[in-house]
Amino acid sequence: MNELKIDLSEVSPQEFFGQQNAHIEQIRSYFPKIKIVARGSTLKAYGEPSLLEEFDKRTQMLIAHLGKFNSLNAEVIERIIMADDSRDYEPESAPEAFIVHGVGGKIIKAQTFNQQKLVNAALKNDMIFAIGPAGTGKTYTGVALAVKALKEKQVKRIILTRPAVEAGENLGFLPGDLKEKLDPYMQPLYDALRDMIPHEKLISHLEKGTIQIAPLAFMRGRTLDNAFVILDEAQNTTHAQMKMFLTRMGRSAKFMLTGDPGQIDLPRRVISGLKEALLILKETEGIGIVYLDDKDVIRHPIVKKVIDAYKGIEHQN
15-24, 28-37, 93-102, 293-302: segment of lowest average pLDDT: 93-102
The more confidently predicted of residues 34 and 106 is 34
How does strand 227-231 pair with strand 254-259?
Answer: parallel
Which stretches within 92-238 are classed as H helix?
Answer: 113-124, 138-151, 178-196, 199-208
Cβ distance 248 to 224 under 8 Å? yes
The SS3 call for residue 36 is strand
**Count of residues for the chain?**
317
Q: Give phi and psi for 60, each to the nearest 5.
A: -65, -35
Q: Is the pLDDT of residue 92 over 60?
A: no
Q: What is the model's pLDDT at position 13?
A: 87
| Residue pLDDT, tens place only, 238-261 | 999 999 999 999 999 999 999 999
What percent of the chain is predicted at pLDDT more than 90?
50
Q: What is the model's pLDDT at position 177?
A: 55
The more confidently predicted of residues 299 and 59 is 59
The more confidently predicted of residues 87 and 203 is 203
Ordered structural domains, the chain, with CATH = 2-89 (3.30.1370.10), 97-316 (3.40.50.300)
Q: What is the model's pLDDT at position 17?
A: 92
Q: What is the model's pLDDT at position 93?
A: 41
Q: Average pLDDT over the chain, rounded to whole?
A: 85
Which stretches within 5-111 are classed as H helix?
Answer: 13-17, 22-30, 49-69, 74-82
The more confidently predicted of residues 316 and 91 is 316
What percent of the chain is predicted at pLDDT more than 70?
87
When pLDDT is averaged across residues 8-28 and rounded to a whole number, the result is 89
When pLDDT is averaged across residues 8-14 and rounded to a whole number, the result is 83
When pLDDT is averaged across residues 283-290 and rounded to a whole number, the result is 94
In the chain the first and final C-alpha atoms are separated, in Å, by 47
Burial class (CB in 10 A: 0-12, 13-18, 19+), 49: exposed
In 3D, which of 101, 27, 31, 108 has the Cα closest to residue 65?
27
| Residue pLDDT, tens place only, 132-187 | 998 899 999 999 999 999 988 999 999 999 887 544 445 544 445 555 666 677 78
Q: Is the pLDDT of residue 316 over 80?
A: no
The more confidently predicted of residues 45 and 65 is 45
Q: Give phi and psi for 132, each to the nearest 5.
A: 170, 170
Q: Is the pLDDT of residue 29 over 80?
A: yes
Question: What angle is formed at CA 226 by the lines to CA 221 and CA 232, rounded to 5 degrees?
Answer: 65
When pLDDT is averaged across residues 285-308 and rounded to a whole number, the result is 83
The pTM for the full model equals 0.67
Q: What is the model's pLDDT at position 69?
A: 66
Q: What is the model's pLDDT at position 295?
A: 79
